[in-house]
Amino acid sequence: MEPSTPPPAPDNKKPINWPIAINLGLLLLNFLLTRSLSNVAISIVVLAVINGIAAVMLSLFGKMRWVTAFILSALLVLLIGLGLCALALSNLHINH
């Protein structure tokens, strides 16, 4: 038996990577420029809310691929942002 090759991807299905890249860039830039951990936490929530609002607005227009991109972006911002906050807190060596 010959191995079957997967079908080629359609031409009109291009990946949508820029919302994730822009949000992660903004998150890392904010983390590097901000000295206060509370400001970083607030910016994480603000970026996630902005992505959620963008997803809802695009769902009203029927752009489901964009909705998926913005929802994934919001989840990644929360996951990576909270991980950065946890890393910063663990480096403070606060003993309770």
pLDDT digits (tens, 9 = 90+) for 22-72: 888 888 888 788 777 778 888 888 889 999 999 999 999 988 888 988 999
Q: What is the largest CA-CA distance in the chain?
A: 65
Residue 50 domain boundaries: 18-91
Q: Which tokens go with 64?
A: 């489901």
Examine the pLDDT at 80 and tell me if it is beyond 80. Answer: yes
4 falls within a domain: no
Q: Do residues 76 and 20 touch, judged by C-beta distance below 8 A?
A: yes
Q: Which residue has the tokens 């997967």?
A: 6
Examine the pLDDT at 94 and tell me if it is beyond 70. Answer: no
- Specify the number of domains making up the chain: 1
| Distance in angstroms (rounded) separating the CA atoms of residues 72 and 69 | 5
Question: What pLDDT is recorded for position 93?
Answer: 66
79 falls within a domain: yes
6 falls within a domain: no
Q: What is the pLDDT confidence band of residue 1, given thresholds at 50, 70 and 90?
A: low
Examine the pLDDT at 96 and tell me if it is beyond 70. Answer: no
Cα distances (angstroms) measured from residue 71 to each of 12, 17, 62:
21, 12, 15
C-alpha of 35 from chain center: 22
